[in-house]
Amino acid sequence: MREARFRWNGADIPFREGETLAAAILRAGPSDAGLGYFCGIGACQSCVVWCDGRRVEACVTPARTGASVSGSED
Amino acid sequence: MRDPDVLVVGAGPAGISAAAELAAAGLSVLWIDQRDRPGGAIHRQPSAASTAIAFGPASVRNQWRRLHARFQGTGVSLTGETGFAGIDSDGVAILEQRHSGTTTCVRAKAIILAVGAVERVLPRPGWHLPGVCTAGGMQVMLKETGSPPRGRVLVAGNGPLTLALATQLAAAGNPPVAVLEASDPFRRPSHALALMRSPRLVGEALHYSTRVAFARIPWKRGRRVVAIESHGGALRVRSVAKNGYVETFDVEHIALHDGIRPNTFGLPEGEARPFIIRAGDCREALGAVAAEVDGKQAARRVIARLRGEPAPKPHPMLNAERRAQDTLASLFRPHGDAVPADLPDDTILCRCEGRTVGDLRTLLAAHPGISPREVKLNGRFAMGLCQGRFCADNVAALLEHGGETGPVSADALTGTRWPIRPIAIASLIRDADDPNSSTPQ
């Protein structure tokens, strides 16, 4: 199966079908990975990221191939 | 989007059971959830390709099988990736289509809110550092990915969920170095005996405690975490026992949990048009089994209301669940104040905007007798993106310590208004049903 990928702060992050941005980022990176993952249910807003120009909670947003995701607006 | 008879918000046990009951009664239902699949936090399903681990006692797994069969049988379908932003003054529900970044408005005759609970997490020095998450947060990630966090994990706080998480981490191959529990249930034999009245709770207690013991995970009771610091790329956690004994743990991750509370922040409620009721843990945090019954009850109230029939009586099972939860709460009641009055000044209270305990003390010293509302508006506590979900209870507790105001509720700080969750202005002005506004600027 071809592995799907998105960009996170300039790095290529592979993800599995149905996985959230947070799940893929945490699996790929070091323990914090620059993502403020905290509550996991979209309530605390700590893991809000920019995804293709929109602010979304990484823990409740499905990863999509080719998405450009970063911790800041640039 | 066509206006439904009933809007059901949430696809955990209460939302599933409400949506299925309404659909079976022949009503048109718009059933939404922020996620793309039903289950809620308790029944979070693994993403397609991850290794599924059979988590939890049989009572939990059986409930999922039952709920899954129920909504499949009625044919009600979930409109996923849809956020509930609130209800405006005309009774119109505002929904955010998260996938497209648009909003839509629906006018329903009735609305059932089943948005679950949020965890309570007490402020501790360093609880804002990377590597710190809630026990529930670590648990849903584990359920979704099937793999535990890498490195050493410490679980700390209060209540039975910490043991459930420890059991699941062990099953996934990375048991925590310890579970630190603020209370000491072993010192409360009378409450432990009261637990025997609920066979299901006894079953769950046995399920978790035997697995924790089998995995040789130390369960250290009467312990509080008093500091978390960054230390050589990891976290150094300092804990203190009731007798003053200090123990430190070096770990990569710490999961914190101090109970749960209904996720009522900003939620509307009313018996007028539309008829709005809450169901499950967002009405009263009684757990998944009660939520399933409560969702069905909420649906029956709505059906009776729409047909002009008398409201059904409350289900007797909810009383039994309430007693069981009270017993658990007594068993796990920690000593002393929940939020310690002697927290260091630099402890973060508001995680969103970095407001500290010291900032609150300065504000209260300068404005004695200041109202909770003014603490929000002037001090920016409960003002940030999470809308007070992770600080309002703690700020309210510290205001009570101040002693000038009497009992303070989190609601007095947060208030009720929409949107009940952050929503981009760009999404708000792009109506999904209006072809002229559906292209991004």
A-B contacts (CB, under 8 Å): 108
Pairing of strands A54-57, A48-51: antiparallel
Let me know the angle formed at the C-alpha of A35 by A34 and A40, rounded to the nearest 5 degrees.
160
Q: Any idea which residue has 């000038």 for tokens?
A: B404
For the segment B282-297, the average pLDDT, to the nearest whole number, is 96
B159: left (phi over 0), alpha (psi -120 to 50) or beta: left
CB contacts of B421 in chain A (<8 Å) are 42
Q: Which residues contact B330 (CB under 8 A, 6 or more apart)?
A: B188, B191, B194
Given pLDDT bands bounded at 50, 70 and 90, which one contains residue B428? confident
Higher pLDDT, B424 or B276: B276
CB-nearest partner of B47 from A18, A38, A61 = A18
Cα dihedral B139→B141→B147→B150 (10° resolution): -90
The CATH classification number of B121-258 equals 3.50.50.60
Cβ <8 Å between B389 and A43: yes
Q: Any idea which residue has 């843990």 for tokens?
A: B281
Query: For the purposes of burial, counting CB atoms within 10 Å of the CB of A2, is it exposed (0-12), middle (13-18) or buried (19 or more)?
Result: exposed
Q: Is the pLDDT of residue B55 over 90?
A: no
Rounded-to-integer distance, Cα B420 and Cα B425, Å = 14
Rounded-to-integer distance, Cα B186 and Cα B214, Å = 18
Identity (one letter) of the amino acid at B281?
A: D
Which chain B residue shows the shortest CA-CA distance from A45?
Answer: B386
Q: Which residues contact A73 (CB under 8 A, 6 or more apart)?
A: A50
- pLDDT score of B439: 46
For the segment A52-71, the average pLDDT, to the nearest whole number, is 94
SS3 content of chain A, % helix, strand, coil (to 5): 15, 30, 55
Q: Which residues contact B372 (CB under 8 A, 6 or more apart)?
A: B395, B396, B399, B405, B408, B409, B412, B413
Q: Is the pLDDT of residue B377 over 60?
A: yes
Which chain A residue shows the shortest CA-CA distance from B10?
Answer: A41
Given pLDDT bands bounded at 50, 70 and 90, which one contains residue B436? low
Rounded-to-integer distance, Cα B379 and Cα B357, Å = 11
ipTM, 2 decimals? Answer: 0.94
CB contacts of B136 in chain A (<8 Å) are 39-41
- pLDDT score of B64: 93
Quote the tokens at residue B397. Answer: 């507790």
Kindly list the structural domains of chain A, giving each domain's residue range(s) and its CATH number in brackets, ordered by start: 4-70 (3.10.20.30)
CB of B227 closer than 8 Å to CB of B124: yes
Closest alpha carbon to B114 in B1, B11, B217, B195 = B11
Rounded-to-integer distance, Cα B169 and Cα B148, Å = 6
CA distance B146 to chain A (A): 10
Cβ <8 Å between A39 and B36: no
Q: Any idea which residue has 């007490």 for tokens?
A: B122
B39: left (phi over 0), alpha (psi -120 to 50) or beta: left
Least confident of B208-222, B328-342, B398-412: B398-412
Model's pTM, two decimal places?
0.94
Cβ <8 Å between A27 and B426: no
CB-nearest partner of A40 from B140, B386, B426 = B140
**What are the backbone dihedrals phi and psi of residue B375, each rounded to the nearest 5 degrees, phi first?**
-60, -35
Q: Any idea which residue has 């040789």 for tokens?
A: B216
Among A45, A48, A49, A73, pick the best mutation site for testing chain B contact (most B Cβ within 10 A).
A45
CB-nearest partner of A42 from B34, B141, B426 = B34
Could you report the per-residue pLDDT of B115-128, keeping only the tens digit for each? 999 999 999 999 99
Could you report the per-residue pLDDT of B66-76, keeping only the tens digit for each? 999 999 999 89
Q: Is the pLDDT of residue B405 over 70?
A: no
Which chain B residue shows the shortest CA-CA distance from A22?
Answer: B141
Tell me whether the omega of the peptide bond preceding residue B419 falls within 30 degrees of 0, making it cis. yes
Q: Is the pLDDT of residue B438 over 50?
A: no
CA distance A30 to chain B (A): 9
Cβ <8 Å between B133 and A19: no
CB contacts of A53 in chain B (<8 Å) are 440
Write the CA distances from B82 to B64, B115, B250, B388, integer angstroms: 22, 13, 40, 22
Identity (one letter) of the amino acid at B200?
A: R
Q: Taking the mean position of all CA atoms in its chain, how far away is CA B322?
A: 17
Q: Any idea which residue has 């300039």 for tokens?
A: A10
Q: Which residues of B157-177 are buried (b: 16+ CB within 10 A; e: fewer)?
A: bbbbbbbbbbbbbbbbebbbb
Rounded-to-integer distance, Cα B290 and Cα B279, Å = 10
Q: Is the pLDDT of residue B215 over 90?
A: yes
Could you report the per-residue pLDDT of B72-121, keeping only the tens digit for each? 999 899 999 999 999 988 899 999 999 899 999 999 999 999 999 999 99
CB contacts of A34 in chain B (<8 Å) are 130
Least confident of A34-48, B17-31, B138-152, B262-276: B262-276
CA distance A16 to chain B (A): 6
CB-nearest partner of B144 from A17, A23, A39 = A23
Cβ <8 Å between A16 and B48: yes
Given pLDDT bands bounded at 50, 70 and 90, which one contains residue B440? very low
Which chain B residue shows the shortest CA-CA distance from A44?
Answer: B386
Q: Taking the mean position of all CA atoms in its chain, how far away is CA B283?
A: 12
The CATH classification number of B6-118+262-327 equals 3.50.50.60
- pLDDT score of B95: 96
Cβ <8 Å between B134 and A61: no
Rounded-to-integer distance, Cα B430 and Cα B99, Å = 13
Cβ <8 Å between B151 and A31: yes
